[in-house]
Amino acid sequence: MSVECFVTGGSGFVGQHLLAHLTAAGHKTWVLMRNPENIKRLREQVGHLGGDPAYVHAVEGDISREGLGLSEAATQCLASVSVVFHLAAQFSWGLTMDAARAVNVQGALRVARLAASQRIRLLMVGGFMLQNLSHLANIGVDHECPENTDWPAVYSRVGGYEGSKLESHFAVIRYMQEANADYTIVHPATVCGHSESGHILEGQPLAELIRNLAQGRFKAVPGSARHWLPLVSVDYLVTMITCVAFDPSMANRQVLALYDGTPNLPGMLEQMATTLQVKAPRRYVAMRLLRWLLMIPGLASRLGISAESLDFIQTQRFDMSASKQLERKYQFAHPDMTRTLEMTVRYVKGYLRD
């Protein structure tokens, strides 16, 4: 059965693939766009990614504005929507707390308000670090009583992006519970390219890591042989998002989208280096030392690494039972991730040449 969907962040990397997936299934999508004049380009891209461009419609708006900046007519269009997919985020390192909060926390609350006011499911995309409870405790997040968290202290520890993603998660859940409204949250690992084409947008964290390796800026492996950067392919991720968004049993639940067979960081770098035909780093640099080195003016930009990105490289393993249950229920699986990573590296290599 086809339904209507409202999507924020539809022009982003995950958003483009989600639009392709939803429209290929015949769902009409309303996409919140800060620049609706880009709709033609977005439709073309959705078509390239296997979706149906005719089902993609722009709604002008901005989540950092009151009421998402929606016109009366746009609000009317949303009356027939069944699910709100919230993917929009200010996604970069070095954001100030105020800038990150304005979009990632206040913006997410505005989207939640819209979904709750229309009595429709909110599907929100979080991040896998929200399932790493020891990390949350280490950085001062009280996940059982989030209102006891000293958020400015958390932001100064982990930076604007991660701080705001963590804060918005708890703020949205609290809001939806108080409004007695439905939500479902998917927490992706670092997103890898598409398993068939390797498609990934420039600027994505994994694409930047590949670029650094290709350009010989990766001198040592951060952490130890036990550290890893969990990955998920963008196609697995959008399949999971779509399955849970329409599943009544997933109301008020959260699930991880993460490939737990992702090799540890040295193995992953070795695999990427082989495809790039460059040397993989062999030595290790302790996280604490690397963080200290990155405080030396100019070094972070010379190495192309931000201290904020190091938080995502961890030794923690995750309980994947809920995700595996969904895979069985909906008959989907992770693609061959060795090949997916290879395709992604080849895709990035393509635009490094251009």
Ligand X SMILES: NC(=O)c1ccc[n+]([C@@H]2O[C@H](COP(=O)([O-])OP(=O)(O)OC[C@H]3O[C@@H](n4cnc5c(N)ncnc54)[C@H](OP(=O)(O)O)[C@@H]3O)[C@@H](O)[C@H]2O)c1
Site map 6..25 versus ligand X, x via CB under 6 A = --xx-xxxxx----------
Site map 142..181 versus ligand X, x via CB under 6 A = -----------------------x----------------
φ/ψ of 350, rounded to 5, equals -60, -45
Of the candidate spans 111-119, 200-208, 327-335, 337-345, the one that interacts with ligand X by CB under 6 A turns out to be 200-208
Of the candidate spans 52-60, 61-69, 130-138, 317-325, the one that interacts with ligand X by CB under 6 A turns out to be 61-69
Of the candidate spans 52-60, 115-123, 187-195, 276-284, the one that interacts with ligand X by CB under 6 A turns out to be 187-195
193 binds ligand X (CB under 6 A): no
Nearest residue to ligand X on Cβ basis: 12
Tokens read off for 6: 């409202």
| Pick from 125, 17, 21, 29: nearest CA to 83 | 29
For ligand X, give the closer residue by CB, 179 or 201: 201
132 binds ligand X (CB under 6 A): no
Residues belonging to the chain = 354
One-letter amino acid for residue 249 of the chain: S
| Helices 265-276 and 337-353, packing angle to 10 deg | 50
For ligand X, give the closer residue by CB, 87 or 272: 87
185 binds ligand X (CB under 6 A): no
Please tell me the count of residues contacting ligand X according to CB under 6 A. Answer: 29
Query: How does DSSP assign 306-349, residue by residue?
Result: -HHHHTT-B------HHHHHHHHHHT-----HHHHHHHHHHHHH
Out of 159, 160, 188, 198, the only residue in the binding site for ligand X (CB under 6 A) is 188
Task: Compute the distance between CA of residue 231 and CA of residue 49 in angstroms, rounded to an integer.
Answer: 20
Strands (E), 189-290: 190-192, 221-222, 231-233, 253-257, 284-285
φ/ψ of 187, rounded to 5, equals -110, 100
List binders of ligand X among 62-121 (CB under 6 A): 62-64, 87-91, 103, 107
| Cβ(337)–Cβ(231) below 8 Å | yes
Provide the binding-site residues for ligand X, judged by CB under 6 A. Answer: 8-9, 11-15, 32, 34-35, 62-64, 87-91, 103, 107, 125, 127, 165, 188, 190-191, 201, 204-205
